[in-house]
Amino acid sequence: MLGRLIYLSRTRSKHLQISSPSSVSFICTMSRRPISTSPAPQDDSQRAPKRQRLDHLTPESFRNGVFLAPMVRSGALPTRLMALKHGATLVWGPEIVDKAILHAEREVDPVTGVISYNGKSRAMFTTHPLEKPYLIYQIGSADPELAVQAAKTVMQDVSGVDLNCGCPKPFSTHAGMGAALLSNPDLLCGILEALRRELPKEISVSAKIRLLPTQEETKKLVERIARTGVNAITIHCRTRNMRPRERALVERLREIIEFVHELGLDVAIVENGDCTGRADAQRVRELTGADSVMIATAAESNPSCFSLTPLQDVESTLVPSYLRLCKYLDNHWSSTKFCVIQFKGTRSELSKTDIHELKSKIAKAKRYDDVEEIIGSRTGEDEFREVMRAVEARPPRIPAVAEQEEVVEEEIPAPCSTPPDRANPEPPSSGAPKMGLRMPLPAIITGSDMISPTPTPGDVTIDGRDFGGVILDSEGTNTISMSNVQVSDTTFKRFVFLAVQLTDEDDFTDMSPAGLGEIQLKVWKVALGNAIPWTEYYKTEQHKVHERAKKAVTHCVGLGQETVATKLPEVVKSETIGEPLAIFTFKYRDPNRLKADGIIPAPAAASLKRKASLEIIDLTTHDIKIESSRPSALVRGERNLHRMKKTENKNKNKKVKQEQKSGSVEVIDLT
């Protein structure tokens, strides 16, 4: 059997390395057997149907996913691998024009395994076998024959081919490609039909389009594309003339998707536009009804956005590892530099000056050796191994046609296991986290009261505004925190201290000036009712925030930047019992207000008047003659210049006074 396996491997490979002469004679002996033990060939009618490949993309492969969008320059191989490492379901390569790839030469790096399609001066497209099951190759084409030739050139290294029908850039539209195909649906569908007809079934075919000006036009185009046999259609929720800074029209997509479902066609619809990450993808899917979501801009800023816990301090975490990976894969330095400059996190341990210096150093670098200090001691091979482990840890893709039988394994207890009816009961516990060898002790030893079986919430009031609270359950954790307020069914804003002066309504609709500068926590006993959905609670409660409403000059609590919530809070109806068990009050004021009220001493005002000085000018007779002989126009010019300088000095003094009058952001505890 061993000889047979070796023989088969030799017939399928052009190169075979043999370590010893004995193995050579063994192979030759087995290859010259006159009688084959293989079963007799059967005719096509008796042959069983072929088993579908596990890496075969079907419409199901395009559902329930979060995809990396095709991006010129930004969608390089290292970015795609980073996206797969952090959870991207499928990744699209950058658009490559059909004629360009036809003249490329395929080359495989023997060390890294990187596959390059080289042009005259550099690689036009690079990939790696690791990403093949998840890679979609995007073509820019306006000719069915050229599109098929280009797809066949790279199909051995990809799992799908996508036709770009939405790029509005002139380099694509001037040749009838990209968004120009939207106004030529016959050519668009002709290219897709040719790709589906000529490519093997295991290569998926899809299209990426934009919204047309009207819903009817868009639905007609989507129907025509869906009937070409494509696996998926990605719809960028912007029209051809809209720019990325304009809000995506995601509300238009649901009607289109419902229309496709009514047609009964097995094609997945992917939404593209204004999705910020995996946590936000669920919101987009619920809003639009899309099968999957594609991310572009957010992934360009942070390829880890496909994770539920994306990297935040990208300058310290993502940038060094990305540089190491790019160097190992021999990614062109100009491409690496472009991608790294786009990276931006939500929080950084570095100051703005340090971040600016870091990116400035990368921008000025000419090669990887110039950024060795940033790359660090780790090697790119280590980074690639991490990517490989993350990708290989994914569950295998199951073909849509395979019928999975549920196998219920009967649990057999171990011979020496304790019978269930005699097992020791679980000891009662407070639910508090145990650290090290710490154990829950009786109240008589610890000197504290035993846990109350009644749930107790902490109601928070800030600046006279009631924000509700968090319930401390008797069986849950004994630590609660409240650092933000939910402002919609999907977003929240954090509390921040602000030093502002406002004269009209500018924050909360029902804020009372008497409550400004005070944070209060009340602890009650409550009776819990039924849980209610957050959306219903949001509609009934007055939790809408206005960022307007302070009627006094004071230091106050405001709201920070709006953030997408990864998980909706659980809302339970409750009714307080009796009076509050405890009330904690924290008062704060702006230092300037405290000085004005005489609560804290104010420093002595510094005088800004300049002391008079006596200046004596001695003019000799010769000097007087020179001064009297000067032209009067020149003298007037010098006088005007003197007045201008005097005015500038006055303005500088005014700026100094204004800076001294500006308020401080220091907070003083008056509790």
Residues with catalytic function: 167
Distance between CA atoms of residues 100 and 171, nearest Å: 13
Distance between CA atoms of residues 564 and 544, nearest Å: 16
Tokens of 292: 């999957």
Distance between CA atoms of residues 598 and 625, nearest Å: 63
- The set of long-range contacts for 280-285, using a CB threshold of 8 Å and a minimum separation of 24, is 280/564, 281/66, 283/490, 283/564, 284/250
- Decide if 377 contacts 356 (C-beta within 8 A): no
Q: Which residues pair with 485 in a beta bridge?
A: 493
- The set of long-range contacts for 365-374, using a CB threshold of 8 Å and a minimum separation of 24, is 365/333, 365/337, 366/333, 367/333, 368/323, 368/326, 368/327, 368/333, 368/336, 371/323, 374/319, 374/320, 374/323
Residue 99 CA to chain centroid, in angstroms? 34
Distance between CA atoms of residues 101 and 139, nearest Å: 9
DSSP state of 249: -
Helix runs in 132-268, H state only: 144-154, 170-173, 185-198, 215-226, 253-263
Residues ≥6 apart with Cβ < 8 Å to 281: 66, 275, 293, 295
Specify burial of residue 507 (Cβ count, 10 A radius: 0-12, 13-18, 19+): buried
> Residue 299 belongs to what H/E stretch?
helix 297-301
Distance between CA atoms of residues 104 and 354, nearest Å: 42
Specify burial of residue 229 (Cβ count, 10 A radius: 0-12, 13-18, 19+): middle
Residues ≥6 apart with Cβ < 8 Å to 70: 92, 93, 94, 95, 136, 138, 162, 164, 208
**What is 614-667 written as a DSSP string?**
-------HHHHHHHHHS-HHHHHHHHHHHHHHHHHHHHHHHHHHHHHHSPP---
Nearest alpha-carbon partner for 548 in 488, 508, 500: 508
> Residue 328 belongs to what H/E stretch?
helix 318-328
Q: Which residues pair with 465 in a beta bridge?
A: 462
Nearest alpha-carbon partner for 92 in 229, 207, 248: 207
Number of neighbours of residue 77 by Cβ within 10 angstroms:
26
Specify burial of residue 234 (Cβ count, 10 A radius: 0-12, 13-18, 19+): buried
Distance between CA atoms of residues 470 and 476, nearest Å: 12
